[in-house]
């Protein structure tokens, strides 16, 4: 008697990574104190002695799809300053199931300064993506925060019409919530972007 043959597809490999960067003020200069990297989350720092401390976030997988997970954490100590960017645009591709997730946690101590300036995220057609940004600021800390999102690449004929995207921000200063937003779009992204109050078809 022949044994039954399984026809199920093998589980797809998933991108998973977590990285943490902690910097502090040492003798009036910002210095790296601790660095942790795991999986597909890498951090590189240009060879420069200038303040603020500069760091570049890297996803060597080249993009995300359903089920992928990345987590970034940055802590800037009292009197320290840091500027964070990414090596390239993050790309979120079509998801067969589940969603891709990026979680960001930022903490800036007393008189600290942080510029969070990643390159834009490109959301492709039929992507499913959730991003969260949680920020804790001391009473006199400063932060410049940017997360730009692009839907498709029209110049290359790549239009995003369907998908799901959820962007969640929570910013607290001295323990008080000062900014909160939840942006959701989908599943008909093209229709939503065509509304005058959203993107006006841009």
Instruction: Find the mean pLDDT for residues 3-7.
Output: 54
| DSSP letter (8 states) at residue 155 | G
**Which of 44, 20, 43, 21 is CA-nearest to residue 32?**
21
The arithmetic mean of pLDDT across residues 41-64, rounded, is 91
pLDDT tens per residue, range 146-176: 999 999 998 888 899 999 999 999 999 999 9
C-beta of residue 50 within 8 angstroms of C-beta of residue 27: no
pTM of the model: 0.90
Neighbours of 109 (CB within 10 A): 19
Residue 34 is assigned to a structural domain of this protein: yes
Contact 131/70 with Cβ under 8 angstroms?
Answer: no
What pLDDT score was predicted for residue 97? 82
Distance, C-alpha 131 to centroid of its chain? 6
Six token digits for residue 111: 């008189």
Does residue 181 fall inside a structural domain?
yes
If phi > 0 it is left, if psi is from -120 to 50 it is alpha, else beta; for residue 27 that is: left
Contacts of 92 (CB under 8 A, 6+ apart): 63, 64, 65, 100, 121, 122, 123, 124, 127, 129
pLDDT of residue 12: 65
Pair of tokens at residue 44: 């590189």
What single DSSP character describes residue 96?
A: S
Give the max Cα distance, the chain.
Answer: 78
At 68-122, the pLDDT tens digits run 999 999 999 999 999 999 999 999 999 988 999 999 999 999 999 999 999 999 9
- The single residue listed with the structure tokens 């589980």 is 11
Q: φ, ψ for residue 159 (rounded to 5)? A: -105, 135
Does residue 142 lie within any of the structural domains?
Answer: yes
In a domain, 162, yes or no: yes
In a domain, 11, yes or no: no
Tokens of 110: 């007393």
Total of domains in the chain? 1
6: pLDDT strictly greater than 70: no
Q: Which residues form the domain of 86?
A: 16-193
Residue 1 lies in a domain: no
The tens digit of pLDDT for each residue in 17-47 reads 999 999 999 999 999 999 999 999 999 998 8
Residue 5 lies inside a defined structural domain of this protein: no
* Spatial CB neighbours of 28, under 8 Å, sequence gap ≥ 6: none
Residue 28 lies in a domain: yes
**Residues 6 or more apart whose Cβ sits within 8 Å of residue 1:** none
Query: Pick from 21, 23, 22: which is nearest to 42 by CA?
Result: 21
């Amino acid at each position: 008697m022949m044994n039954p043959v399984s026809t199920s597809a093998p589980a797809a490999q998933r991108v998973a990574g977590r990285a943490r960067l902690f910097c502090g003020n040492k003798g009036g200069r910002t210095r790296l104190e601790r660095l942790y990297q795991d999986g597909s989350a890498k951090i590189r720092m240009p060879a420069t002695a200038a303040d603020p401390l500069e760091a570049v976030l890297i996803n060597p997988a080249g993009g995300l799809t359903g089920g992928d997970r990345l987590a970034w954490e940055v802590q800037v100590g009292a009197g320290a300053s840091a500027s964070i960017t990414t090596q390239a645009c993050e790309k979120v591709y079509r998801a067969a199931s589940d969603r891709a997730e990026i979680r960001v946690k930022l903490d800036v101590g007393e008189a600290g300064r942080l510029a969070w300036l990643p390159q834009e995220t490109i959301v492709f057609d039929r992507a499913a993506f959730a991003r969260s940004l949680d920020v804790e600021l001391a009473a006199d800390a400063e932060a410049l925060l940017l997360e730009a999102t692009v839907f498709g690449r029209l110049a290359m004929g790549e239009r995003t019409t369907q998908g799901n995207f959820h962007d969640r921000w929570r910013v607290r200063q001295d323990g008080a919530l000062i900014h909160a937003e939840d942006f959701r779009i989908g599943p008909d992204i093209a229709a939503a972007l065509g509304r005058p109050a959203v993107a006006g078809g841009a």
